[in-house]
Structure 1
Amino acid sequence: MLARMLRITIAMQMLFGAALGYWLTDGNAGLVGKLPGMLLVAMAAPLVGNTITIVLSFFKSRAKEPAALWGRALLGETMASARFFLLRQPWAFAPPVLRPATGSQARIPVLLVHGFVCNHRVWKALTPTLQAQGHTVLAINLEPLFCSIDDYAAQIEQAVQTLRQQTGQNQVALVGHSMGGLAIRAWMRRFGTAQVARAITLGTPHAGTQAKAMVSTANGVQMGWQSDWLKELAASETDATRSLLRIALTPQDNIVYPQRAQTLQGITPTVFEGRGHLQLCTDADVRQWVCAQLALG
């Protein structure tokens, strides 16, 4: 569903770009003469649109952190967003499949759960890293895109059962980015924690986000700053449940803010400076940290 929506969005941006290119080209040139300019602007339009979106998100989310770190995060997030939303996620034609471990030592299987308006292709960098460490990996697509986060629990449970059956393991580890971390917590509330070896969240709005772009959908409302749903979810969790969680955040998060508030009672988050929201899925240091947390589990 998301991939199709992104392809349509890119096509519309390119059509707009082609029209703009036609208007900008020398009026005395015929259609053939205008084609190179039309093509150039059409190809640039999605990239320009993506860049503007990221810059605006950083402007809105800016906190009192060193300017150099914000600049580093802005550059990295712009590149990550272009890769995800222009080159990877729109072209996910096949459903995700189980990825067997390639490392010599078998470790706990891992379920990867993406965030809001994303799909399994956000894990392209992390998946082979985990496989090389000995983890069998399964990434899922959370659908529909705009339902209650609670509705994803059954889908996560099915994926957990698939991992257990395919690997013969009694427990799995779960890694969630952004909303994916909340979906994991909602799954644990419904199905319990007996199957959980470790739950890791990256850039998850545990306290909610003040970003206004999300608030019109069911899951967006749930992710709102200090929402009733988030308070109820936190109140349902015991110390034993929270002991399974590991939280990573970035003070330069352009989607989930206030940034340093995104943790839970009794958990000290690991902080990665100078990264944007999507970069937490791709950054080498974050990948190394995830592997280290899984090794401890």
Structure 2
Amino acid sequence: MATIGRAARRDGPPRAGQSLQAAYSQRYDAWIATRRRSAALSALWWGPLIVAVSIIAGYSTHFPLFGVLYFVLGTAAVLDVLFRKPDALVRVRARAAAESETGKVLRAVEIRGRATVLHDRMLTGFGEPFEIEHLVLSPRGAFLIDSKQWHDHDVRMFGAVMYVNHVDQAPMFKRLVEQARALGEALTEAAALDEEVGIVTVQPLLAVHMEKLQGTPRNMLGVTVLTPEQLASTLRSPDVRWSAQAVDSLIIAANRLLVSKQSTGAA
């Protein structure tokens, strides 16, 4: 997975996972500051306690080194508990890493497939605002791509039904299909001056990051589920719909239509 560090710089077009990386950095800084204060205050009682128990352990066993070892292990255990990242923070980091990794794969599609990829955007002003993690615009069509980090999750697929940790994912698929439809309508209106573009149909894809996912690519209720490694071949289909000029019109329309997710304050 990609390394998540400080918040990404805001200059230039948004990068994959940029808003989540910024959110993780801000939340981590706030959390670590709180933890440091808590550790300093709580050390007033657990520090002397560990020292006292360590002395007793060394004295009672007649092995002073045992007391030293107890002190080191006890201190390490307390610090591990105090500074263990909460699950919510870990999930934000994992989501940011998944989006970033998907973005790296899509970079190859940009270079070799004459495609343009927009990352980390929001569609507003057309009903309920929603996030667009990755939008691929190429002569072969328009593709809305969402990323999921499902490492260590129980993922099961039965025909067109998917369960993740025993939770049916049908509502998520229906939401992605509806978002793709809304995005297509918005792009159709925004690029209406170019007659070749016509009615834009956006195809929703779900890139799943996990150790092994059998039986993909697979259509699940209108959404193509696949692994990141399968994205390039899926997006390079031989069917060409638009000329380079029409794609340029779509790119201009999309950049005018979609705002940076980070600029909206969404995370």
- Comparing both chains, which one has the higher relative contact order based on Cα–Cα distances under 8 Å and sequence gaps of 6 or more? 2
Higher strand share: 2
The structure with more radius of gyration: 2
Q: Normalised by the size of structure 1, how large is the TM-score?
A: 0.34
